[in-house]
Structure 1
Amino acid sequence: MERNDQSKSGLLLSENIAGDGDMMSSEERMPVTVIGLGNMGSALAEAFVRAGHPTTVWNRSAVKAAPLVAMGAVQADTVADAISASILVIVCLTTYDATIQALEQAGAGITGHTLVTLNSGTPFGARKMADWAAEHGVRFLDGAVKNVPSAVGKPDTLLYYSGDKAAFDDNETTLRVLGGDTVYLGEEPDLAKLYEAAVGATLLPALLGFFQGAAILKARGLPASTLVPYSIKWLEMIGSILPSYADEIDASEYTKPFASIGIMYEGIAYDHEIGEEANIDLSWQAPMHNLLRRAIEEGRKDHSISSLVELLRKRE
């Protein structure tokens, strides 16, 4: 499709969606390109289309673009064509290396654009990506979607970004289409990935705890679904005490515990007892139990459980 036709398509889409007085006029909706149409990338592109942004998409497997094209997106034949369609380019590929490999297909055509990466990766990878962007004359923001694809576009969905402040300010309204809880963390380009790693550290342990609970109930012939409301309340309680634990860690003050290392350590025996009764494998807990034992050996029995952070931090 020629670029003029793409522009007309985007304008018609904007005019069709316009009509809600709270939405931007078609002239104000920024064209957006989305590269990478996995589950998350497709959700990002769909959110832009639904909000009336002229949206160009590209994916290595072209068939994945079909549902978005049916909604009104424009499918580019090449990465270069996709990038030429919009100043704002959102990339949601698997890694930073994959992002660089894809963008290099555009050659000098990427220069002068604003790049937002929403892929997985590490702070090191984000810094490497920022260096690449600077070398190619690209304004760079790295980001993270802290929810599942089906939540993209909802008012309470959290996304955070780091990198070029001017790029964020210029595009904040457009980026907020992806989630109402949109946060700028700072100029350092790796902050989004740093917080993503820090926040994400709670996911698998929390889920394993739920799966263990489900295994305990199933051993008694009870459905896992009966555990859900009580687990949610428990997680809400944990959320309510995180600020206090954060204050203890920031102050390195662990002598006035809500819950002590000693109490948690004594619970190890109960973990093993219920594991034997329910005939479930609790080996995944061994590193946590070892951490508690080390804390006791260091004389932290009466310290807050938050003092475990001191054991997790490696010393020189």
Structure 2
Amino acid sequence: MPVTPAATPVTPVTVVGLGSMGSALAAAFLAAGHPVTVWNRSPAKAGPLVEQGAVHEPDIAAAVAASPLVVACLSRYDTTRAALAPAGGALRGRTLATLNSGSPEGARAMAEWARSLGARFLDGAVKNVPQAVGAPDTQLVYAGDRSVFEEYEPVLRVLGGDTIHLGEESDLAALYEVAVGATLLPALIGFFHGAALVTDRGRTAASMVPYSVKWLEMIASILPALADEIDSGDYARPFSSIGVFRDGMDDDLATARTAGLDGDWLDSLYGVVRRAVAEGREGQSVSALTEVLRRPGS
């Protein structure tokens, strides 16, 4: 087992929830030399971690009491509260860090619940897949009391080298998780749509990958400029206008129909473009769609 560097305190950690992500978190703590207690509703999932040196505690209150830092990785905030409810008394004086999905409202409610029990609270999000936990470039973001984050930052950093505190407001990690995550499904569905077009022509989806990656790199390169336009509210000097997207949308939809694909998702996206054109924005930067999204159905 790797030896924890001298600069990193050896802190006992309890991990609550042993799905694929929770198990990866527990394994990373173990690899860094931290004593780890694990709890899961289905005890069988603890077996591989016990083999690596973790202690399985089937009683949630005892599991929480075993460590000053409790990291919960369950599906949602309400699931986390339900799992930890029997351990309410044991949470007093401990730090609870949640790494689950949910809304900013859910994060605020979770923070209030934890504080009402006398626990210190951090909310966080893992911005990668379980297999990447522990890597130097894996990003995790946290929100909440900065002094608590700074106290446990060396411990939390073993989960990913790109570990960031976003601010004191308890819902910021959830806010950025939802905001940044909004890109994922549309991008993936776009790739799947393209893959359906290409494979229907007898070519492979793999043949698209180099070009899709290059396209995504181009998108990444222009995000700073688009963000500056949104922050300034100045959309008058576009390098890609809403009108350009309007001009291409009918061909995109026709191609989907000709190929027999479900084009409803495209039609929904282009509905935002149509609303922008109806507002007279066709000459503005595509980033002005942000303003249209602020007024759904208007």
Using the size of structure 2 for normalisation, the TM-score is 0.96
Q: How does 1:56-205 map to 2 (within 5 A)?
A: 56-205=37-186
Counterpart AA for 1:17: P
Please give the alpha-carbon distance, in whole angstroms, between the structure 2 residues aligned to 1:129 and 1:27: 28
SS at match of 2:88: helix
Checking the alignment, whether the CA contact within 8 Å between 2:9 and 2:155 is kept in structure 1 is no
Residue by residue over 1:6-47, the C-alpha shift from the partner in whole angstroms, topping out at 9 and shown as x without a partner, is xxxxxxxxxx532xxxx4249931111000001110010011
Q: Aligned-pair distance for 1:100?
A: 1.3
1:17 matched to 2:28? The reply is no
Checking the alignment, whether the CA contact within 8 Å between 1:249 and 1:309 is kept in structure 2 is yes
Please give the alpha-carbon distance, in whole angstroms, between the structure 1 residues aligned to 2:103 and 2:253: 36
Q: How does 1:249-288 map to 2 (within 5 A)?
A: 249-288=230-269
Checking the alignment, whether the CA contact within 8 Å between 1:110 and 1:136 is kept in structure 2 is yes
TM-align CA RMSD: 1.5
Please give the alpha-carbon distance, in whole angstroms, between the structure 2 residues aligned to 1:270 and 1:277: 10
Using a 3 Å threshold, how does the CA distance of structure 1 residues 192 and 309 change in structure 2: closer, same or farther? same
Aligned to 1:218: 199
Checking the alignment, whether the CA contact within 8 Å between 1:26 and 1:52 is kept in structure 2 is no
Please give the alpha-carbon distance, in whole angstroms, between the structure 2 residues aligned to 1:74 and 1:247: 49
Amino-acid identity (%):
56
Using a 3 Å threshold, how does the CA distance of structure 1 residues 314 and 269 change in structure 2: closer, same or farther? closer
| Alignment counterpart, residue 240 of structure 1, candidates 186, 196, 221 | 221
Aligned length: 297
Checking the alignment, whether the CA contact within 8 Å between 1:117 and 1:143 is kept in structure 2 is yes
Q: Aligned-pair distance for 1:198?
A: 0.3
Identify unmatched segments of 5+ residues in structure 2. Answer: none
Checking the alignment, whether the CA contact within 8 Å between 1:219 and 1:279 is kept in structure 2 is no
Using the size of structure 1 for normalisation, the TM-score is 0.91
SS at match of 1:221: coil
SS at match of 2:203: coil
Aligned to 2:15: 34
1:209 matched to 2:190? The reply is yes
Please give the alpha-carbon distance, in whole angstroms, between the structure 2 residues aligned to 1:227 and 1:61: 41
Please give the alpha-carbon distance, in whole angstroms, between the structure 2 residues aligned to 1:46 and 1:92: 13
Identify unmatched segments of 5+ residues in structure 1. Answer: 1-15
